[in-house]
């Protein structure tokens, strides 16, 4: 009579322990996302003061801003190979220490050349961690919680951006840009300490025939009733399917065509819809919309950062229930409408006293819709849709496209503002958001609830995306 409640209690404790372990792993790895967000967001406020310190021209402002993007684009080319060759955990650990070095070097810079070099180093770290962190989390997470756990990385990115805005605001009156840039070393140290004690991805361990280690990790990351041997057998079966086309030759396999098309397409659309023009240049945009001081524009930017975090939390809570497609379609539609309002406001309301608040609200709405759609969904999907044998390299290819178009948008935004005006510039981004909605509607599958091995078999079977369910 008493054994059943005791057994249920034991299962409950075991389940809580499993959830706690996978959550701790995901939160620690997501510190890479926090660094990603901080180091991309902090430049928006620091740039207002770097201009005076180094006498930067508009072209040099763009160079300092885009140095991170150049480093990220190059690093993403070889980052996938590093993750596949040496493992997810060692790569994350090295990146953490490099983040610390880059932050300290940028804070100590006495010339613009040193500053640009430090920013390139930080960009190298961001380019690799931007996909290795969600890859690591996805390979360890149970299917039922994978969406929420991987999206913790996106939440960390938004928190990092918000923290960077708050730091910028704190030092805005003193203009202490060295503190703005240097404080990025703190989360880097925390990430390094965390990765020292976390395990390697079980799927990478199976790939390296380290089955006992993989089983040990999965026993901690799965519920008590999970069939660990069956999961390992599934992983080995998928690896066996890929051995006929090892390395980069696997990219020519028919089963890779659609995932590559979808991954690269989403990578490009996430950037050309203009999100990082807000992240990098929000204070500049708000000054153009009618704010009259750096402190006021940075404060408005911080408000945008708060919305970004809050809506990412919403996405985190519903992504495994609502599904990827619903959030992606809702998000891109909302982005298009918000950008249209923003563009119309610049076209007809720029002279009105209240226009600056219309600008703030429309930018907040735009960022909020991004936070439930393209923001988390892109990184989640590319961690799910690629085969295990080339997952790191395939995510690297998608990330190269993402950072490459991020760089293109960052380099052209200020020139577009000058040549076309803000109304036309943001109208173009609105049109590209419509393209994003059409792409998601016709090509993006629903991966909710499917194991990574099931998703891979769907591609091999060439099952239409509408039948995934």
Q: Is 278 among the domain residues?
A: yes
From 440, 443, 427, 441, select the one nearest 336 (Cα to Cα). Answer: 427
Q: Is 1 among the domain residues?
A: no
Q: Is 102 among the domain residues?
A: yes
Q: Is 451 among the domain residues?
A: yes
Please give the Cα distance from 371 to 400 (Å, whole number).
21
pLDDT tens for the chain, residues 1 to 469: 444 444 444 444 445 677 788 889 999 999 998 998 898 888 878 888 888 888 888 778 878 888 888 898 888 888 878 888 899 999 999 999 999 999 999 999 999 999 999 999 999 999 899 888 988 998 888 888 888 888 888 889 889 988 988 898 888 888 899 999 999 999 999 999 999 999 999 989 998 999 999 999 998 888 877 789 898 988 888 777 666 555 566 677 777 889 999 999 999 999 999 988 877 677 777 776 667 666 777 777 778 888 889 999 999 889 888 889 999 999 999 999 999 988 888 887 655 566 777 778 888 899 999 999 999 899 889 988 988 777 778 888 898 899 889 888 877 887 888 889 888 999 999 999 999 999 999 999 999 888 888 888 888 777 777 667 6
Q: Which domain holds residue 63?
A: 19-467
- Total domains in the chain come to 1
In order of 30, 336, 365, the CA distances from 340 in angstroms are 33, 6, 11
For the purposes of burial, counting CB atoms within 10 Å of the CB of 60, is it exposed (0-12), middle (13-18) or buried (19 or more)? middle
| CB-CB contact of 279 with 157 (8 Å) | no
Please give the Cα distance from 300 to 282 (Å, whole number).
9
pLDDT at 292: 67
Please give the Cα distance from 464 to 64 (Å, whole number).
44
Torsion region of 449: left, alpha or beta (phi above 0 gives left; psi -120 to 50 gives alpha)? left
Both tokens of 393, joined, read 């390299």
List of residues 6+ apart from 171 with CB closer than 8 A: 45, 177, 179, 180
Q: Is 4 among the domain residues?
A: no
From 402, 415, 303, select the one nearest 360 (Cα to Cα). Answer: 303
Please give the Cα distance from 141 to 148 (Å, whole number).
9
Q: Is 12 among the domain residues?
A: no
Q: Is 10 among the domain residues?
A: no
Task: Identify the CATH number of the domain in which residue 62 sits.
Answer: 1.20.1250.20
Q: Is 8 among the domain residues?
A: no
pLDDT at 52: 83
Please give the Cα distance from 459 to 390 (Å, whole number).
14
Please give the Cα distance from 234 to 426 (Å, whole number).
47
List of residues 6+ apart from 212 with CB closer than 8 A: none
Cα-based angle 413, 305, 39 (whole degrees, multiple of 5)? 65
Map residue 447 onto helix, strand or coil. coil
Give this prediction's pTM: 0.75
pLDDT at 29: 92
């Amino acid at each position: 009579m008493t054994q059943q409640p005791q057994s249920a209690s034991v299962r409950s404790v075991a389940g809580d322990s499993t959830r706690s372990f996978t959550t701790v792993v995901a939160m620690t790895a997501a510190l890479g996302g926090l660094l990603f967000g901080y180091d991309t967001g902090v430049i928006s406020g620091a740039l207002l003061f770097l201009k005076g310190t180094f006498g930067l021209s508009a072209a040099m402002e763009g160079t300092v801003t885009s140095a991170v993007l150049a480093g990220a684009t190059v690093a993403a080319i070889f980052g996938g190979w590093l993750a596949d060759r040496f493992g997810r955990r060692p790569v994350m650990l090295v990146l953490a220490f490099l983040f610390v070095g880059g932050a300290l070097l940028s804070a100590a810079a006495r010339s613009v050349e040193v500053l640009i070099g430090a920013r390139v180093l930080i960009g190298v770290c961001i380019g690799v961690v931007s996909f290795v962190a969600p890859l690591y989390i996805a390979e360890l997470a149970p299917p039922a919680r994978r969406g929420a756990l991987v999206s913790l990385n996106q939440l960390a990115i938004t928190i990092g951006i918000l923290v960077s805005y708050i730091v910028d605001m704190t030092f805005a009156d003193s203009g202490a840009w060295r503190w703005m840039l240097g404080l990025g070393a703190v989360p880097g140290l925390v990430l390094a300490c965390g990765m020292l004690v976390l395990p390697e991805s079980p799927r990478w361990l199976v790939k390296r025939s380290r089955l006992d280690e993989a089983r040990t990790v999965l026993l901690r990351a799965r519920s008590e009733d999970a069939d660990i041997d069956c999961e390992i057998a599934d992983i080995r079966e998928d690896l066996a399917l890929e051995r006929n086309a090892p390395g980069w030759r696997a990219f020519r396999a028919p089963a890779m065509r659609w995932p590559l098309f979808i991954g690269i397409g989403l990578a490009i659309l996430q950037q050309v819809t203009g999100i990082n023009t807000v992240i990098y240049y929000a204070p500049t945009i708000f000054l153009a919309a009618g704010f009259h001081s750096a402190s006021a524009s940075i404060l408005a930017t911080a408000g945008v950062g708060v919305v970004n975090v809050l809506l990412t939390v919403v996405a985190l809570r519903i992504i495994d229930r609502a599904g990827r497609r619903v959030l992606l379609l809702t998000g891109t539609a909302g982005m298009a409408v918000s950008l249209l309002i923003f563009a119309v406001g610049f076209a007809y309301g720029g002279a009105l006293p209240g226009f600056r608040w219309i600008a703030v609200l429309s930018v907040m709405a735009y960022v909020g819709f991004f936070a439930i759609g393209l923001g988390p969904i892109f990184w989640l999907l590319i961690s799910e849709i690629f085969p295990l044998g080339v997952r790191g390299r395939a995510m690297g290819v998608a990330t190269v496209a993402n950072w490459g178009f991020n760089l293109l948008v960052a380099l052209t935004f200020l020139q577009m503002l000058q040549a076309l005006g803000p109304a036309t510039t943001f109208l173009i981004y609105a049109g590209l958001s419509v393209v994003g909605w059409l792409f998601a509607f016709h090509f993006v599958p629903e991966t909710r609830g499917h194991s990574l091995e099931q998703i891979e078999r769907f591609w091999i079977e060439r099952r239409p995306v509408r039948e995934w369910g």
